[in-house]
Structure 1
Amino acid sequence: MRWLWFTAGWLMVALGFIGALLPVMPTTIFLMMAVACFARSSPRFEHWLLSHPQFGTPLRQWREEGAISRKGRRMAFGGMALGYVIFWVAVRPSWTLALGVALVFVVGAAYVGTRPLPRAGGATPDTTDHG
């Protein structure tokens, strides 16, 4: 099972880094899943993600507080809106499909919007040695 979690973790890292390059694909959610996979398979790579200079802070904020920063919210809302516009233009959906997809995006946006903001001074890096 450990190797399955490890492989899934690297798949999530790959998807997360692709998401960092593509405007419509998310990044942080894949990295959150990678951290969860590495927590079950490789403390070393779990620590690597949690201490990453760019992605570590939002990952730690989510893990420790279930929190999403204002910037993270703006990025999530913007990505959802852009994704919906691209869907609308590319698919030219019927009104029922457009409404159904919009509902999914609204539920996702509501979830993101109702998460707490990070505490000031919280989510410090883990300084323990993980090998």
Structure 2
Amino acid sequence: MRQKIKQYLFISLGWAFVVLGAIGAVVPLLPTTPFLILALACFAENSPRFHNMLLHHRWFGPALQQWEKNHTIRHSVKKKVYLLIIVTFGISITVLWGRPWLQLMLVGICLILLWFISRIKESEHLPP
């Protein structure tokens, strides 16, 4: 009984992280990849079907496979992430023109996010 509750809890958490990751694909302040990595971890032992579904997803699968194998991302993916962060935060900062405190907060969050991304190890190769 306890095992079933644990399994359902992790599957529910996994799907919540997938939803947050999907929202994060369009909302600048919400990251996509960390939520999908958390979903992958929730599904790893509790739902092999959902775990494989994420690993073989057309868009996110290769990056998640690489992360699961050696905790790295490709340099090209990292460059795209930098560009996406800068563009989305730039748009948000522009929309908030005339509100310097909110703009400064967004600049700070953007710099912290860029710093965290810069610390992730890179690899040029996809997993086999």
Aligned residues between the structures: 119
Residue among 84, 96, 101 paired with 1:93: 101
Matched residue, 1:107: 115
Whether 2:37 is the aligned partner of 1:32: answer: yes
> What is the identity percentage for the equivalent residue pairs of Structure 1 and Structure 2?
29
Matched residue, 1:12: 17
Against the structure 1 CA distance between its residues 6 and 60, is the aligned structure 2 distance closer, same or farther, given a 3 Å change threshold?
same
CA distance in 2, matches of 1:99, 1:86: 11
- The Cα of 1:100 is off from its aligned counterpart by 3.9
The answer (yes or no) to whether the contact 1:19–1:26 under 8 Å persists in 2 is yes
The answer (yes or no) to whether the contact 1:65–1:118 under 8 Å persists in 2 is no
**Relative contact order (C-alpha < 8 Å, sep 6+): which is higher?**
1
Q: Over the residues paired in the alignment, what is the CA RMSD in angstroms?
A: 2.6
Q: TM-score, normalised by structure 2?
A: 0.73
- In structure 1, list runs of 5 or more residues that go unmatched: 125-131
Q: TM-score, normalised by structure 1?
A: 0.72
CA distance in 2, matches of 1:46, 1:92: 43
Amino acid at match of 2:113: F
CA distance in 2, matches of 1:18, 1:95: 22
C-alpha offsets along residues 73-111 of structure 1, whole Å, 9 cap, x if unaligned? 122102221343245332522797466435413422322
Matched residue, 1:127: none
